[in-house]
Chain A
Amino acid sequence: MSTSPPNNRPDPDDLLARVQAEEKQRERGHLKIFFGYAAGVGKTYAMLEAAHQRKAEGMDVVVGYVETHKRMETENMLRGLEVIQSKTITYRNIQLKEMDIDQVLERRPRLVLVDELAHTNAPGSRHAKRYQDVEELISAGINVYTTLNIQHLESLNDVVAQITGTKVRETIPDRVIDEVTDIELIDLPTDELLNRLREGKVYIPEQAERAIEKFFRQGNLTALRELTMRRAAERVDDQMLDYMGKRAIPGPWPARERLLVCVSPGAASERLIRAARRLADELKAEWNAIFVETPQQIRMTAEQRDRVDRMLRLAEELGAKSITIPGQSVAETVTNYARNQNITKIIIGKSQRSRWSELLRGSVADQLIHQSGPIDVYFVNSESQPSLKQPERYWQPHRPWRRYFWGIALVAGATGLCALVAPYISPTNLVVIYLLSTVVAAVFLGRGPAILTSVLSVVAFDFFFVPPSLTLAVSDTEYILTFFGLLSVSLVISYLTAQVREQADAAQRREAQTAALYELGHDLTAAVGLEAVAKTIIDHIGQIYSREVALFLPENNDLKLYMASQDLSVAENELAVASWAFEHNQQAGRGTDTLPDASMHYQPLKTTRGIIGVLGIKPLGINTYLSPDQQRILDAFANQVALAIEGAQLVEHARQTELLEATEKLQTALLNSISHDLRTPLVSITGALSSLEEAGPALDEEVRKSLIETAREEAERLNRLVGNLLDITRLEAGAMQLHREACDVQELIGSALEQIGTPLKDRQVNVEMSPKIPLVPLDFVLFSRVLVNVIDNALKYSPLEKPIDIRARASKQDLEISIADRGEGVPVDDLERIFDKFYRVQRPDNVSGTGLGLSICKGIVEAHNGCIRAENRHGGGVIFTIRVPLEGTDNQ
């Protein structure tokens, strides 16, 4: 354990985390693992026994998946328990049985038995691993009993491999164990286990016979047993500390340590990371993993790069935070980072480089030791396995051969130039020209050709310009110094220049990504409306990742495809994967552990309000995993995207709310206005009638007649108003149906004039119709009402002596009717607003009317696909022009 001074006060953050975790526990189901050190100790049997006990106590127990291996005793234990039928998945013509997780979720038992936690599911299953299935069951609130062998634990994987000599492929991350409520250790003395093996009571897969022999040896089993017990004890220890922590019992709390492990492309990194995890566990410390991208690393092969990605992911799975940082020197970058992050211990593997290069450069280890200052540095022994060959630093197999020829050509050129100036300059100064050629080679041709140029320069210089010329011999030994100088300077220049260029490239790449992020953010702020935001997102992300993108948004609680890159079609089952990611707030699809057979990678978009959508990315290449860096950038994008979408949605919501408020305000104003207009005529009518009733015969004949006439006129006015209100309501509700028929325009005008009646008395109306106007498909009733309203309007707003001019004519496409008066005209600003509901031009003579007539006209004319407008007339007055299309005149 740790030797650092104890800190007795319980950390408040820690406490909060515990309480939160406990709350989380209560909603989630409990997981109990039956833990054993080898196959055959009796884990499944113990689990089934416990299940029977629970059932006897009255709990609802169900068997999700139990592997009996056809053992009699195990099969007998199954009797009496409800078994959920397993799902059959066909993979490469093999029938595989897997647990049917959906059935279990539907059945919702209190407790379900799931054997072999570390099992890998068949391709096509929802999750890649069974422990993920179990996690889903736990999240749904179902308790689970499961079994596990020690060698399946990630952090102990290599230790077990060391003991047994066989490496187990199926591992589960340690965090699954740590979140477990209960571990029950199933122990069996090793002798008894060996007996069982001999009696044939232990399941052995046929292929593994020889490996099993190696495995089931006394020494191995004992070591495994001890390891298992120790691990289980650690868990108890954790539980105790947890208990103490919750009750704020002061104890020997360990100091806050922070570890940093350095990842390299070498094969030893895996072991290193697992060791770091164990150390972190022991010290109860947080730990980070770092990979330094030096200029050499930039030239890694794809395989190496993949390995680095996998190592960083492994570290993250084991609980570390991983990061990639570019830098010149590993030691310097690491120590800088360590200092910034308050790292207390650095873990690094022992060097794999050859003595020679170590001498030349100084090993990273040495540099670290010098630069680390107060930080401890731990060296972990790495097993030298035949790993991938590290590429020769100076060998660039993918550089085209051409460049080397150019290098040679440069030297030839320099030589030629030197030959020209040789008579005038001393040989030592000719060196400058060769140096220049090396610089040129380094800048334009790369490291390899530059080095070739350097060497060739020296040779050429010696051969051509150092006496005796045309030999490689040297007369004056001083020239050795010149050679040495030329060569070393050239090499240094080559090295530095090439390095600078490579770093510049890397920086450019990184800058491009940052710029892309910035641009995305910038364009998102400029995009207005959800559609624009979605399009921006899809264009940008598609560009950056060179992949096709799809955006899914929820509609009434169902996830639907909102927008996608061009030519991207999303299949039904892809939508199901997206929906899963949406519901569980986890990544899914290709490159993840859940439904990895999907063709796209799905990233949920989270904001403080919750999950608002899913982003789908379709990888174009074979690279199925996103590197942790790419993943981080994608997370950053996802955040921005989520916020932008949320923003657009909120803006829309706010707009609609505003609109609603404005509409309500308007409606209240309208209701007030209508109420007034309806009541006013009633005042006169009630007044007149009641006066007649009251005074009766006492009234003068003239007065009686006048009262009666008033009542009648007001009643007519009320009738007209009611009619107008009904019309406008019908128009608004879209309930106005046009009954079109072939209409004679002359008849239309005549009917309108007839309908107006009395106001036309003593008024001059000129009707001018151009000849040959065809029959027009209109709704006669409604259109005549339009004419009635407009003509009535003209009559009202012009003096009695002035005429009204009505004109009708037809062009090839339209019918045009114009109605003009000689009144005062309409203020220019009002020419459009007079068609608004309830709008009345302010006039000194209070003209009666509700202001609805013209808006009804507009509604009806537009329903006919026509248009109506008003203009002021030369010489005074207003002219209304109505235009309707003549379409459909072939029905004659």
Chain B
Amino acid sequence: MNEIGLRVLVVDDERAIRRYLHAALNAQGYTVYEASGGKEALNMTVADRPDLIILDLGLPDLDGVEVTRQLREWTHIPIIILSVREQESDKINALDAGADDYLTKPFSSGELMARMRATLRHSTQSGSDPVFETDNLKVDLTRRQVKVGGEEISLTPTEYDLLRILVQNAGRVLTHHQLLRQVWGSAYESEAHLLRVNMSNLRRKIEPDPTRPRYIITEPGVGYRLRTES
């Protein structure tokens, strides 16, 4: 993917963080814009049309979740939110409001780049790649075929749907609500145990060691993510 020329809007009230992100992203070839508050961020999104927004949740004027919500009213620009360790509910709210992924402060540059790549890849794909392959796992969406180590395995329709959604969002986090909504329907948004049980079964079928999952990673308190890079 060509990152040169891609425009990133960094929104954080801390100057030091903005400086660091600016430097790190510049080094990778991105063009960086900075905003220090929610309202400024909204204005600059309209004015400068970035390709990606890195948005801190703890903004002084407008809540990060609120900014996400307002942005999602008119744009699909990918948003990665920055959060602090204990803000699980804020993270979930932001993700449910339309953010694509999150990073927990402090994070390393490696993590940042990986998330950005995954998010941008997903957004620039016109349609999803019909075949997903990583390590020993191969999922063919057109043929509804899942193979582990070359061997085809049979999944229940629910398990397949679950895997499909994860594959279609490969590399990005999906909240429990989002998964439940997309696999079972909005009425089942709070039936967490459905998700747990099916996830457990799915893992047992596709993971070499279900106690040390390599493909489907649990994001504690938030949701699940299908890992794309080892």
Query: Which residues of A pack against B, CB within 8 Å?
Result: 715, 719, 723, 726, 739, 741-744, 746-747, 749-751, 753-755, 765, 767, 769, 775, 780-781, 784, 891-892
Contact = CB atoms under 8 A, between A and B. Distances in A.
A466 to B, nearest CB: 114
Interface in B173-221: 192-193, 196-197, 199-200, 203, 210-213, 217-218, 220-221
B88 A749 contact: no
B217 A781 contact: no
A742 B85 contact: no
A723 B85 contact: yes
Contacts, number: 55
Nearest to B84: A726
- Of the candidates B196, B199, B203, B211, the one having the most CB atoms from chain A within 10 angstroms of its own CB is B211
A753 B220 CA distance: 12
B212 A750 contact: yes
Interface of B: 85-86, 88, 106, 192-193, 196-197, 199-200, 203, 210-213, 217-218, 220-221
B211 A769 contact: yes
A741 B85 CA distance: 19
A892 B213 contact: no
A723 B199 CA distance: 29
The 9 closest A-B pairs by CB, nearest first: A781-B221, A742-B193, A767-B211, A751-B218, A781-B220, A744-B200, A744-B196, A741-B192, A750-B211
Contacts of A746: 200, 203, 210-211
Given A746-B210, A750-B211, A767-B211, A780 B197 contact: no
Given A750-B212, A765-B212, A780-B220, 12 more contacts: A719-B106, A739-B88, A742-B192, A743-B196, A746-B203, A746-B211, A747-B203, A751-B218, A769-B211, A775-B196, A781-B88, A781-B221
Contacts of A742: 192-193, 196
28 contacts: A715-B106, A726-B85, A739-B88, A742-B192, A744-B196, A744-B199, A746-B200, A747-B196, A747-B199, A747-B200, A747-B203, A749-B211, A750-B210, A750-B211, A750-B212, A750-B218, A751-B218, A753-B211, A754-B212, A754-B217, A755-B220, A765-B212, A767-B211, A769-B211, A775-B193, A775-B197, A780-B220, A781-B221
B193 A891 contact: yes
B64 to A, nearest CB: 20
Contacts of A769: 211
A318 B24 CA distance: 100
Contacts of B106: 715, 719
A754 B217 CA distance: 8
Contacts of A747: 196, 199-200, 203, 218
A522 B192 CA distance: 64
A838 to B, nearest CB: 21
B30 to A, nearest CB: 23
Contacts of B86: 726
Contacts of A726: 85-86
Contacts of B220: 751, 755, 780-781, 784
A750 B196 CA distance: 13
Contacts of A755: 220
A393 B120 CA distance: 120
Contacts of B211: 746, 749-750, 753, 767, 769
Nearest to A767: B211
A485 B33 CA distance: 135
Contacts of B213: 750, 754
- Of the candidates A747, A767, A784, A891, the one having the most CB atoms from chain B within 10 angstroms of its own CB is A747
A199 B88 CA distance: 100
B188 to A, nearest CB: 14
A404 B139 CA distance: 117
A891 to B, nearest CB: 7
A221 to B, nearest CB: 97
Contact of B212 (A715, A719, A723, A753): A753
A251 B213 CA distance: 111
Nearest to A892: B193
A245 to B, nearest CB: 80
B193 A754 contact: no
- Of the candidates B88, B192, B197, B218, the one having the most CB atoms from chain A within 10 angstroms of its own CB is B218
Contacts of A891: 193
B194 to A, nearest CB: 9
Nearest to B207: A750
Contacts of B212: 750, 753-754, 765, 767
